[in-house]
Amino acid sequence: MDARSIRWPAGRPPAVICPDLARPHLIGSAGAGMAPLGELLVASGRRVTGSDLRDAGHDPANLAGASAVVVSSAIPDSNPELQAAYAAGLAVVHRAQALDLLLGHHYLVGVTGTHGKTSTTAMLAHIALATGTDPTYAIGARLLGDGTRSRLGDGKFAIAEVDESDRSHLLVHPQLAIVTNIEHDHVEQYDDLPDVIEAMERFAQGIAAGGTIVINTADPGAAVLADRLRIADLASLTVVTVGTSPDDDLRIVSTTPTDSGGATVLTLQVGAISGVTACGPLLVTVPVPGRHQAVNAALAIAAAIEMGIGAEAAAEAIASYEGVDRRLSVTGMTRGIPIWDSYAHHPTEITADLQALREIAQTRGGRLLVAVQPCGLARLDAYRTRIARALEAADQIVILPVHTGTTTGTAADTGAAAPDGADVAAEASHALAAAISKPGRVHYTDDPDDAAELLARAARRGDVLVTMGGPAASHVGPLAEQQLARLIAV
């Protein structure tokens, strides 16, 4: 069983008192959160070892010389290295606490929320880097510009993606936090939306004294959090709101897609944030598609202003942002047909990304074709109808067996066989296909090669292809590009 599904007795993963991270060993070192942490630990001068099923696997002998063991919630108690660590009396530290301890001497900026964490973290890291603050950062996917997911800088700021899916965000205590949005997800961990909001409120209460939280009040769930924090009137916490209301500290006046649909022009009205005098409308070109990405950019700009970076400088920096791996990124172009890749797996994310790509397809006079691997049996069971409705925005849909393991949301994910069994995964995806009201336009296959061929043979000039969800879908993109090239040759 995935350890992520465990309900922690204290409402969060356990914290270790004063662990010795001088010589850490990381179990699951290739994970989306573990990999950048490991890189930062190495960059800080520590000798670090790690193991992962994708490489040589797990062996208790790997713990030789370790001062502590670092794990994520994806590591079950049955893991042989974890069992050996407990037997040896080694401190077992959750990844989130290790990140908090490592970056504790910085001014830590933590980015959390149900959707958009990776993109918002990447945008803020890009702003900080472009404006010369020499930041440290840890992101759950690679930047498309320089390919990094971590950096140890000499500046005072550290910017980190903070995962709420397993409640481990409660182990992180930043000086400045961003909450992108709050929605019910990770149904194996959270009962309902109020449960998620309560956990976010606990996170806010753990922000360092004198700290600030930036909240997207255009999102209903996050707006509830903002109201609760205002009512609580925490003397040591400043609440900065980003939204569409004239009362928001940073107001989103408009989001307008460019003619090609590949970017969005964002108009902001900057209020009195962090003592900055309110200024007139600020035009920001967000060079990645989707109104949701424009909102992410607004949140990053608000945080940058709180960090002392000028609004105009932050806006200028965003214009050169290139995106981040698997967050609606272009992976290929053949026969004039672009192939995009998206990690979207929640119905809200699927809707947002497909809407952005639909606008691009319309400007090209083409259709939208998608290959999707749903992520998580519990999520699919809870949101099957909503996911089906979201996918109906596409003209052709290819569905792969649901991915039931822990997915990293990166192109490096191997998409290993589902621990719950291929039959269960196939049955769940068949049920999703049956729920989609697109007769003759929905196909199921358990073979990424077949999925690629289905997309390639259906595609014509002007169309837009997207691979979406779990790792198997991501692997379809390069295969589809090869199939398209083969069709040209014929």
257-303 residue pLDDT tens = 998 889 999 999 998 776 666 567 899 999 999 999 999 999 999 99
pLDDT means per 10 residues in the chain (490 residues)?
A: 51 87 96 96 96 86 96 92 96 97 96 98 98 98 95 98 96 98 95 96 95 98 97 90 95 93 92 69 95 97 96 96 95 92 97 96 96 95 96 97 66 41 87 94 96 95 96 94 78
pLDDT value of residue 260: 86
pTM of the model: 0.93
pLDDT value of residue 247: 92
CA distance 372 to 85: 39
CA distance 422 to 426: 6
Strands (DSSP E) found in 227-354: 237-243, 250-257, 264-270, 281-286, 327-334, 337-342
> Residue ranges of the domains in the chain?
3-98, 103-318, 327-489
Q: In this structure, what are the phi and psi dihedrals at residue 82, rounded to the nearest 5 degrees?
A: -65, -40
pLDDT value of residue 408: 41
pLDDT value of residue 2: 44
What CATH topology corresponds to 103-318?
A: UDP-N-acetylmuramoyl-L-alanine:D-glutamate ligase (3.40.1190)
What CATH topology corresponds to 327-489?
A: Protein-Tyrosine Phosphatase; Chain A (3.90.190)
CB contact at 8 A, 45 and 107: no
pLDDT value of residue 396: 97
CB contact at 8 A, 159 and 137: yes
pLDDT value of residue 417: 40
End-to-end CA distance of the chain, in Å? 47
Q: What is the pLDDT of residues 395-450, one digit of tens each?
A: 999 999 999 875 444 444 333 444 446 788 899 999 999 999 998 999 999 999 99
What CATH topology corresponds to 3-98?
A: Rossmann fold (3.40.50)
Mean pLDDT of the chain: 91
Longest CA–CA separation in the chain, Å: 70
